[in-house]
Structure 1
Amino acid sequence: MVRPILSEPTVERYLPMVAEAVGPDFAAYRNHIYRVLSYALHFLGDDPRGREHIGFALVFHDVGMWADRELAYLEPSETVAERVREQHAPHLDATLVANIIHWHHKLLPFKGPDAAIVNAARKADWIDASMGTVRNGVARKDVAAIEAAIPVLGFPQILMRLAKDLRHGNRLAGLWRVLSHVYKI
């Protein structure tokens, strides 16, 4: 059973730093972070180091879409996360934070340092990004329970709107940019 995480100190400490950039989409983005965190901690188990790194990285993992108005948002998101990490959380492993963000849309398992942590976040984001189509072993009823506890608030529609808006009305061009720059094998 996946336990919903409704609040987490690391997330709550850094989330205000992205609120202005995310703007009116903030509540939906916050809930996306908490759904992904819930799944990630289900996969990771009791690992305080992994929990803190994933919580921190998730705050910034998609923020480049809003902060830089960019659909190829991984590197801009990593840049924002690194700037905040250097100033406010130097104890966090810079490579691990960058890997969580950079590889969170990787199709196949990550095989690098701290792979268990990176893959927990990666598998978790796939569940939420696919709206439960990809479940990585999580039962449908658990996905439904997480979505009931932490409402989706139109997050998939926000992503579609951004794909259209950031490519000047051309949703197809936006989706192509995401597919060619964000998803990794």
Structure 2
Amino acid sequence: MTEIKIKLERPRVEELLARYEDVIGKDFPGYRNHVYRTITYAMHFLEHDVEVEPLVEIAFVYHDIGLWTDGELAYLEPSESVALADNEKYEWGLDTEALRGAIHWHHKIFPYKGPHERVIEACRKADWVDASKGTIRKGLSKQEIKKVEAAFPNLGFHNTLLRLAKDYGGSTLVGGIKVTRGIVKW
């Protein structure tokens, strides 16, 4: 596999995230860097295939957005809805099933098999690497993960997830159970 490449500037990502900055509020910097880390990992798994880069960027901008737009712990479907509505509204022309799949399956525990497998699986692996803070590496070296994390620091993103679980669920435990039941796929 090729060396991991870090793009510090992604104009499409910045433009799309800017539309939701007010909704995401104080969580914005952490979410932005999570988006950049996951895109970086996914593009590495896809060997930097520029043909799928727009889909990967857009999917990751929207993959958790339902946490803020809908205030939902079961945020996959709300995130998909926002992404698909914007795909239509802004006429991006992305394959709706690929976009939906990249969002819907990004927490799948076992490898994804099916339509658009290459991209969906790269997105799934990328999110697991970042969600686990590099404990799950999916073939990446510790040094590669540290390099990406240095470029895009956590800025409290994982703490944000715990806080939202508590805020939306009533307690961290109840919220954690709701999150797990609502977003983890087998």
Q: The TM-score by the shorter chain falls in which range?
A: over 0.9
Identity of aligned residues (%): 44
2:175 is matched with: 174
TM-score by length of 1: 0.96
- Which residue number in structure 1 is paired with residue 116 of structure 2? 114
Per-residue CA shift, 1:53-106, capped at 9, x if unaligned? 010111110011111111000000011111111111341111111000000001
Decide whether the 8 Å contact of 1:18 with 1:60 is kept in 2.
no
Unaligned runs of 5+ in 2: none
For structure 1, the residue ranges without an aligned partner over 5 or more in a row are none
Paired letter, 2:70: D
Taking the aligned partners of 2:11 and 2:47, their CA distance within structure 1 comes to 17
Q: Structure 2: how far apart are the matches of 1:106 and 1:5?
A: 26
Aligned to 2:125: 123
Confirm or deny that 1:84 pairs with 2:81. Answer: no
Alignment of 1:29-178 (within 5 A): 29-168=31-170, 170-178=171-179
C-alpha deviation, 1:12, in angstroms: 2.1
Give the letter aligned to residue 9 of structure 1: P
Shift of 1:48: 2.4
Residue 183 (str. 1) matches residue 184 (str. 2):
yes
Runs of 4+ that moved beyond 3 A: none
Query: 2 CA distance for matches of 1:155 and 1:108?
Result: 24
CA contact (8 A) 1:60 1:80 kept: yes
Using the size of structure 2 for normalisation, the TM-score is: 0.95
One-letter code of the match for 2:87? R
Number of corresponding residues: 184
Q: Which amino acid aligns with 1:148?
A: A
1:115-170 alpha-carbon deviations (Å, 9 max, x no partner):
001111110010000000100000011111111111110111010000001112x1
Counterpart AA for 1:184: K
Distance 2:20 2:153 in 1: 20
| Distance in 2, Cα, partners of 1:123 & 1:87 | 29
| Matching residue's letter, 1:36 | T
Give the aligned CA root-mean-square deviation in angstroms. Answer: 1.1
| Separation in 1, partners of 2:29, 2:168 | 20
